A and B are shown apart, each in its own frame.
Chain A
Amino acid sequence: MKNHIQEEAPDASEAPPFLQSWNQLYALVLILHALVIFLFYWFTHAYA
């Protein structure tokens, strides 16, 4: 049986066009998402 996870490890050689690494880009997406949820939370309470 093939060990796909090890064989098909993410291509780390190609950097993203923004930021320095893919991990930073993933973190940015998650931080933006957390910010959006926080804004929604604020929105919910600000007008309740």
Chain B
Amino acid sequence: MHWIDWLIMAGTLGGIVLYGVYHTRNVSNVQSYLLGDRDLRWWTIGLSVMATQASAITFLSTPGQAYESGMGFAQFYFGLPLAMVFLSIFVLPVYYRLKVYTAYEYLEGRFDLKTRTLTAILFLIQRGLAAGITIYAPAIVLSTILEWHLNLTILAIGVLVIFYTVLGGTKAVSVTQKQQMIVILLGMFIAAILVVDKLPEGVGFTDALGIAGKLDKLNVVDFTFDPSNRYTFWSGLLGGVFLFMSYFGTDQSQVQRYLSGRSLSESRLGLLFNGIIKVPMQFLILFVGILVYVFFLFVQPPVHFNSANLAIVKSQPATAEQLAALEMRYDTVFSEKREATRQLVTQMRNENEAGITQSVASIQSLQQADNVIREEVKQLINTASDGKAKQRDTDYVFITYVIEYLPIGLVGLILAVIFSAAMSSTSSELNALATTSVIDIYKRSVKKDATDEHYLKASRILTIVWGGIALFFALYADLFENLIQAVNMIGSVLYGSILGIFMVAFFQKKVGGNAVFIAALIAQTIVSILFVLDQKEIFPIGYLWLNPIGCLLVMVLAQGIQMGMKKEVA
């Protein structure tokens, strides 16, 4: 990497951290530390909420996902604006009126201490482990690309985040996230423009759109109602609205972002801003992936995008020889595919439908041959690494393009985007973990009447502790592959039931703590069984549907149990 890229990357990241530290140098009490003096304006809240959700892996994986499967993933976010409106109407006013620090505080007033503590502990377990993955997942990709040691990459991200989060608390998180999100949006926008600029001579933007469209890559909206299909209009709108109501309404890493607003209006505007911007932003990121896909139809990509995996194969004579043979076949297939793509451009310009159909069939046939070779390379990687190396390489598509083809300066900016995204989501997580630990556990159940100074100190110590846990987990994550899968599973399985508990709290006024507690346990068991049946392909169901199922089960069961309990008493 050129020294100018290093300078831009380090300057951008260092500048943001220093800005955050400078702006939060006067934090001196626990309210200021955990709620940021409640003085943030709506644009800071909106950008902070977006930055919390957008992790580094979002910017690495999403373009790769578009490259492989098209634009359908955009539908995942279709429920988000509806969730923002719902939360603005029903949830934010309650949190503001009660002046809570955490979402779980509300549950004690509505139900009881055990429901509050249980929900807080579930959050701490899930988010505590997830914070490690938030650092670990992008660090694997970045360390491969930058040829850094993995542990050094993890420490570079983790130590910087812990440093400014410990010093400035929630305000440091929000003000740095504002800068980070500006860098992210700017970087992705420039990347999109430059991909178009990098297309071969004679191939314009509309040609690129035409090629992608004819090859079924621009399939943004799918109205078919198929529960086993992961991303459709219906799963995104109905399943997504429950997922996002749960994530933004009950996950402390998000709740804390908007609770630091100057007023209820500022927080509402922040969420609504997120509701307007988020879907087009995801579209842009996916669209960059599509443009990279078209670019690689004209410029030959590597046979496998993870260079570290190829190095393993090349290090052993037997597999190296087989790889060389596969690469020769790959070269031939690519040359033919490039020619067929050029033919397609010509036919589209001539509006020759028969010619277009023929070219598309030819490209698709060559794409299949290409896929067969890529699969064979993955088998070689598996053999050469004794099954240890991950064969999936879609996370490396966009970053490979950035490193290999973008001009000096922009490489540094895009790397700053990815590091910024890793830091912004991790800082929110650490901040929320410390807040929940102090407010819902330590102050509520361990040490009730200490001084403000004591709780401030406890908040800082717990931020370091959670940062240490996240770093430890990230450093040793390769030993816990099964645990990583478990964490991801917990995330997608728990949200529905947690939302159900909050929905009962808000809307089913006659249901008490015991009924909702039992209902949540039953609902969670059913959702977990459905998830396992899906994983084993016995009963395929898109995971977004688990959110409404879990939520509605809790609501219906809680109502039934409460009625049963009343009859029993009578």
Quote the shortest CB–CB distance from A47 to chain B (angstroms). Answer: 3
CA distance A47 to B219 in the complex (A): 9
Chain B residues positioned under 8 Å from A47 (CB to CB): 209-210, 212-214, 218
With A17-B265, A25-B272 as known contacts, state yes or no: A43 contacts B279, CB within 8 Å.
no
- The reply to whether B269 and A16 contact each other, CB–CB distance below 8 Å, is yes
- The reply to whether B509 and A8 contact each other, CB–CB distance below 8 Å, is no
Quick one: which of B89, B97, B212, B280 contacts A36, CB cutoff 8 A? Answer: B280
Chain B residues positioned under 8 Å from A43 (CB to CB): 218, 220
Chain B residues positioned under 8 Å from A14 (CB to CB): 263-265
Which of A5, A9, A14 gathers most chain B CB within 10 Å? Answer: A5
CA distance A43 to B269 in the complex (A): 29
In the complex, residue of chain B having the shortest beta-carbon distance to the beta carbon of A26:
B85
Interface residue B88 (Cβ < 8 Å from any Cβ of A): yes
**Number of chain B residues whose Cβ lies closer than 8 Å to a Cβ of chain A:** 45
Chain A residues positioned under 8 Å from B140 (CB to CB): none
Interface residue B506 (Cβ < 8 Å from any Cβ of A): yes
CA distance A41 to B272 in the complex (A): 23
**Number of chain A residues whose Cβ lies closer than 8 Å to a Cβ of chain B:** 29
Quote the shortest CB–CB distance from B458 to chain A (angstroms). Answer: 29
Chain B residues positioned under 8 Å from A2 (CB to CB): 109-110
Within 8 A of B (CB), among A1-40: 1-5, 7-11, 14, 16-17, 22, 25-26, 29-30, 32-33, 36-37, 40
- The reply to whether B220 and A41 contact each other, CB–CB distance below 8 Å, is yes
Quote the shortest CB–CB distance from B93 to chain A (angstroms). Answer: 4
Give how many A-B residue pairs fall within 8 Å (CB-CB): 92
CA distance A20 to B276 in the complex (A): 19
Within 8 A of A (CB), among B450-503: none
- The reply to whether A9 and B213 contact each other, CB–CB distance below 8 Å, is no
In the complex, residue of chain A having the shortest beta-carbon distance to the beta carbon of B275:
A29
- The reply to whether A5 and B276 contact each other, CB–CB distance below 8 Å, is no
Quick one: which of A3, A22, A48 contacts B268, CB cutoff 8 A? Answer: A22
CA distance A12 to B541 in the complex (A): 41
In the complex, residue of chain A having the shortest beta-carbon distance to the beta carbon of B237:
A37
CA distance A42 to B276 in the complex (A): 19
Quick one: which of B96, B214, B279 contacts A33, CB cutoff 8 A? Answer: B279
Within 8 A of A (CB), among B194-238: 209-210, 212-214, 216, 218-221, 233
Q: Could you write out 14 A-B pairs with CB less than 8 Å apart?
A: A1-B510, A3-B509, A11-B93, A16-B265, A22-B268, A26-B88, A26-B89, A26-B272, A29-B84, A29-B85, A29-B276, A40-B220, A44-B219, A44-B221
